[in-house]
Structure 1
Amino acid sequence: MAKVDKKEIRRQEIVAAAQAVAARDGAEGATLRAIAAEAGMAANAVLYYFGSHAEIIAAAVQASSGRFLEKLAESVDPGMSPTARLAAVISAGTTAGLDDDVSRILYEYWPHMLRDAGQRRIQEELTKAQERVYRDIIDAGTSAGEFTPLLDPAKIARTLVAQEDGLVMDVLAGSASSEYVLDLMGNLAAALLGLKAENLLELIVARGVSAPAR
């Protein structure tokens, strides 16, 4: 039987506490003292498991990034057509993480990459991973004759990720609904890939989130 690494378990508990505080109180509220209190520990005891507050935050953001990518992967299966996979990833990319605060945590720390190299690396890796997901779908759809891209596939993938990121911010801020954002993303992807918007939106709706009436 594998030996339980108690230190690693405690580290994971501290990361979960940091995520909980950041989701509830924002990045500025996720102080070392607040994280320690959430974990039921003294602040100096937390630093036994992590070298600094910045290291805890980096671990929390990295964990949130990893969970978001897992949600994208969980939304598709090998038997789906490229168009169905596109619909699934658009739906997941726009709504995944809203139910358990993963997206909120990522957006709380997004501005920090302007001055924090560690946060910038995490965010850049997440963006590149999102782009690869879209790029793989676009390549498969093009090979299958389902897509006729109007731009270089890499540019389309980057555009979709950028639009998705910005629109999810609107959802989190309460200035747009998930349904509205899904409609915009579906129409944009369809236009860039030579698809009928109605067909793609129908598949998106089938994922469980309704698009607004056209």
Structure 2
Amino acid sequence: MAKVHKKEIRRQEIVAAAQAVAARDGAEGATLRAIAAEAGMAANAVLYYFGSHAEIIAAAVHASSDRFLEKLDEAIDPGMGPTARLAAVISAGTTAGLDDDVSRILYEYWPHMLRDPEQRRIQEELTAAQERVYRDIIDAGTLSGEFSPVLDPARIARTLVAQEDGLVMDVLAGSASSEYVLDLMGSLAAALLGVKEEILLGLVSARNGSSPAA
């Protein structure tokens, strides 16, 4: 196993501190001073490891993005059929980042992509990766005959990711429950892919230990 350099360990600790502050106090509260305090360092010492506050934030958002994608990958078992994989990704994409603040951190910085090119790049890469996950499942399901897409698969993948993004914001804001969002996502995916709604919703609910919404 490759030895991790002490400087890299310290960088990881600073990134973790930035994530913790952003999750607790929001993007506005994640100042250089606050991140340094969380890491147990002086602010000028933090800049030895990162060139700027913006660089720290970009690293924190990128780490959160990577962890979210890991959660999607962890949700899928190689032996799953396309419909089961679809249910797993809907479930993970909607709820996986809520248990450890990954989604909250990503959403805190989502508006920053309007003005920050680096934040825009990170968010665009995350969206493209999410779309690829859905597209691979759609292609496999179409090939096996489980799915009958009503739109171009790329459009369906984009629609599902966009819908998921907006609905998770509702969950974070407290204006919708995870159960409601999962049911809505499952119903939408079933309609777009020609899957029996009750089957897909049953699989989604089974992964979350709940009953399909009425």
SS of the equivalent of 1:26 reads helix
Where does the alignment leave 5 or more consecutive residues of structure 1 unmatched?
none
Matched residue, 1:66: 66
Query: How large is the RMSD of aligned CA atoms in angstroms?
Result: 0.9
* Deviation of the 1:43 alpha carbon: 0.1
**2:58–2:119 CA contact under 8 A, matched in 1:** yes
Matched residue, 1:39: 39
Aligned ranges for residues 74-153 of structure 1 at < 5 Å?
74-153=74-153
* Deviation of the 1:145 alpha carbon: 0.2
TM-score by length of 1: 0.98
1:67/1:3 CA distance change after superposition, 3 Å? closer
* Deviation of the 1:131 alpha carbon: 0.1
* Deviation of the 1:197 alpha carbon: 0.6
Matched residue, 2:50: 50
**1:180–1:211 CA contact under 8 A, matched in 2:** no
Where does the alignment leave 5 or more consecutive residues of structure 2 unmatched?
none
Deviations 1:58-116 (A, max 9, x none): 00000000000000000001100000000000000000110000000000000000000
**1:183–1:211 CA contact under 8 A, matched in 2:** no
Rounded to whole Å, the distance in 2 between the matches of 1:210 and 1:179 is 8
SS of the equivalent of 1:59 reads helix
1:2/1:200 CA distance change after superposition, 3 Å? closer
Rounded to whole Å, the distance in 1 between the matches of 2:105 and 2:2 is 32
Rounded to whole Å, the distance in 2 between the matches of 1:199 and 1:90 is 14
Count residues with an aligned counterpart: 214
* Deviation of the 1:210 alpha carbon: 1.9
SS of the equivalent of 1:27 reads helix
What residue identity is the alignment partner of 1:90?
I
**2:202–2:212 CA contact under 8 A, matched in 1:** no
